[in-house]
Amino acid sequence: MNESQSNIVALVQGGYFVLTGIWPIVSINTFQMVTGKKTDLWLVKTVALLVAVIGAVLLWAGATGNVTGQTAALAMGSALTLTIIDVYYVWRRVIAPIYLADAAVELVLVAGWAAALMLR
């Protein structure tokens, strides 16, 4: 794995995950204004905190230059999982199309990890 590139991708994804993860915690009202009304706010906040924790660990790994294969797997796996959820539930008309913007960001992150892994 290209160490410097993997550190950068970890920092970018970590920052994105922390910001998007704490948003519903800090202001559930603005989050719902953008993403649509939610019925189970406890679930939104649970997922948000899990995403924020993943982001914090990625920031830590990237900042300390400690990005391992396991770190990359967690990062790529979580990004791909969120992409699948976004696309599937937008397609099923359960969540708003704005979630496709998140899916696009997640795919860019996965591409960044793939590039870092290929440049080893």
Distance between CA 117 and CA 111 in Å, rounded? 10
Q: Is it the case that residue 118 has pLDDT exceeding 90?
A: no
Distance between CA 95 and CA 110 in Å, rounded? 22
Domain residues for 41?
A: 3-118
pLDDT at 33: 98
Q: Is it the case that residue 2 has pLDDT exceeding 70?
A: no
Strands (E) across the chain are located at none
Distance between CA 65 and CA 86 in Å, rounded? 30
pLDDT band at 3 (very low <50, low <70, confident <90, very high): confident
* Average pLDDT of the residues of the chain: 96
User: Which of these, 116, 5, 1, 10, lies nearest to 58 by C-alpha position?
Assistant: 10
User: Which of these, 94, 85, 58, lies nearest to 74 by C-alpha position?
Assistant: 58
- State the total domains in the chain: 1
pLDDT band at 120 (very low <50, low <70, confident <90, very high): low
Distance between CA 100 and CA 76 in Å, rounded? 17
CB 95 within 8 A of CB 89: yes
pLDDT band at 64 (very low <50, low <70, confident <90, very high): very high
